[in-house]
Structure 1
Amino acid sequence: MPSNQVFSHVTAAVLLGLPLPLAVECDARVHVTALEGGRAPRRSGVAGYSTTGHPPVRQVRGLRVLAPADAWCSLAGRLQHDDLVAAGDRLVGLPSPLASFDEIDRAIARHGNRAGAANLRRARADLRANSYSRPETLARLALLRAGLPEAEPNGVIELRSGRRTRGDLVFRTYKVLVEYDGEHHRLDLGQWTTDVTRLNDLAADGWLVIRATKRMALADLVTRAERALRDRGWTR
């Protein structure tokens, strides 16, 4: 690959670990962008693009890749709103951020009026720090869209036992918590034991915990969260 070409779009997102819908992630093509007005590559199995600019580039396992914020911007014409927000939340999320909000804003400015510019601006308004997973983001957006108060992603909770823990989606004012249980929580005995102790400590401190799985419909989660919040005194 010539020195003025970099991996971008879906390929960059996968290399950087940005979460994508399965149908997009399984795109078998290699996405490559030519910088500084270079000619977009045209060959079998390659989706080629070109740009007159020179966006920042990172090395990922020895490969030249658009910097995380610019890679996210390159997805704007391909992803629906919630999917774009979920990928963007990873930029500023856990376990460690890939970009700052300032870097995201500069990348959006570099993107200019290219395809998906309006999508980027809408998604930027919904990005939140400290998200840990795509399901958390999709749940947060569904809860907001239903008119519920905004949950705090992975907020730190101080327990009376002296322990500090994080909750996936924390409604701190009402002491309501949405927790996602992945497969590893069920299959790993050590993790399961830790989870039980943690949930008991939360219950002892008066937290109402709603446990969600990947098989739970978002509509069901919204109904359960709304009922819990109302039980704790929330009104529209």
Structure 2
Amino acid sequence: MIGRSTRLNPNLVAAPGVPGAFMTAPADAWCELADVLSLDDLIAAGERLLGLPRPLATTDQIDATIARHGRRRGATRLRLARAEMRANVYSRRETFVRLMLVRAGLPEPEPNGLIVLRSGRRTRGDLVFRAYRVLVEYDGEQHLFDTAQWATDVSRLNDLAEADWRVIRITKQISRAEIVARTERALRDRGWRG
């Protein structure tokens, strides 16, 4: 087991499911990673704090913890990461794809934006370019083995196509260049001029 020590007085919270036990608050633990993780990994870890299905911290808690962190090692990286963090993210892969697309000069997508279909059905898309009705969907390996999830995904993708959404499906095997090129073509086809 690997541990870390800190001079920061961490905010302790009750450990879920372990009566009488305490743990470092998620935002404090995140700040302690600032001198260990790369910027993009720090952004992804921070987005998990604000992410789905249940946030682990609020933006106010994160901001207060960054302020308490002060000028300690990693303080600059914390502020840079905080500026790029978004709420409602399900996975670190979604974070990395969003950052890649934005850094390539494309407009910023809405993470897991809610989409209401013609049928009244409500769904979320991984990275939603709402103004252009373009959606980038990251298919992780769990999609290969969960037949119930696969059936739900097929039905949802059919509903999105019927509602005139252009869906770009990606996996970790697809190159960055291809992801950016496909997304840019779809956005330009739908009127984006960049």
Q: How far is 1:217 from its partner? A: 2.1
Q: How far is 1:170 from its partner? A: 0.2
Q: How far is 1:81 from its partner? A: 1.1
The answer to whether structure 1 residue 118 and structure 2 residue 76 are counterparts is yes
1:3: which partner in 2?
Answer: none
Instruction: Indicate the larger mover: 138-147 or 176-185.
Output: 176-185
Q: Secondary structure at the match of 1:30?
A: coil
Structure 1 gaps, min length 5: 1-28, 33-48
User: How many residue pairs are counted as aligned between the two chains?
Assistant: 191
1:54: which partner in 2?
Answer: 9
Q: How far is 1:207 from its partner? A: 0.2
Could you report, residue by residue, the CA deviation over 1:74-96 in whole angstroms, capped at 9, with x for unpaired residues? 01001111111000000000000
Q: How far is 1:183 from its partner? A: 2.0
**Inter-partner Cα distance in structure 2 for 1:166 and 1:103:** 26
Q: Secondary structure at the match of 2:3?
A: strand
**Inter-partner Cα distance in structure 2 for 1:181 and 1:214:** 8
**Inter-partner Cα distance in structure 1 for 2:12 and 2:178:** 42
1:14: which partner in 2?
Answer: none
The answer to whether structure 1 residue 95 and structure 2 residue 50 are counterparts is no
1:229: which partner in 2?
Answer: 187
Which of 66, 74, 87 is the equivalent residue of 2:24? 66
Could you report, residue by residue, the CA deviation over 1:104-146 in whole angstroms, capped at 9, with x for unpaired residues? 0010011111111000000000010100000000000000101
**Inter-partner Cα distance in structure 2 for 1:150 and 1:208:** 16
**Inter-partner Cα distance in structure 2 for 1:234 and 1:70:** 40
Instruction: Indicate the larger mover: 121-130 or 61-70.
Output: 61-70
2:94: which partner in 1?
Answer: 136
**Inter-partner Cα distance in structure 2 for 1:201 and 1:50:** 51
Instruction: Indicate the larger mover: 219-228 or 110-119.
Output: 219-228
Structure 2 gaps, min length 5: none
* Larger Cα-atom Rg: 1
Q: Secondary structure at the match of 1:160?
A: coil
2:120: which partner in 1?
Answer: 162
The answer to whether structure 1 residue 211 and structure 2 residue 166 are counterparts is no
The answer to whether structure 1 residue 182 and structure 2 residue 140 are counterparts is yes
1:26: which partner in 2?
Answer: none
**Inter-partner Cα distance in structure 2 for 1:142 and 1:184:** 23
Q: How far is 1:195 from its partner? A: 1.1
1:83: which partner in 2?
Answer: 41
Q: Secondary structure at the match of 2:167?
A: strand
The residue identity in structure 2 corresponding to 1:50 is: T
Q: How far is 1:64 from its partner? A: 3.6
Q: Secondary structure at the match of 1:141?
A: helix
Q: Superposition RMSD on alpha carbons, in Å?
A: 1.3
TM-score normalised to structure 2 length: 0.94
- Report percent identity of matched pairs: 61
1:196: which partner in 2?
Answer: 154
Runs of 4+ in 1 over 6 A off after TM superposition: none
Q: How far is 1:194 from its partner? A: 1.2
The residue identity in structure 2 corresponding to 1:178 is: V
2:3: which partner in 1?
Answer: 31
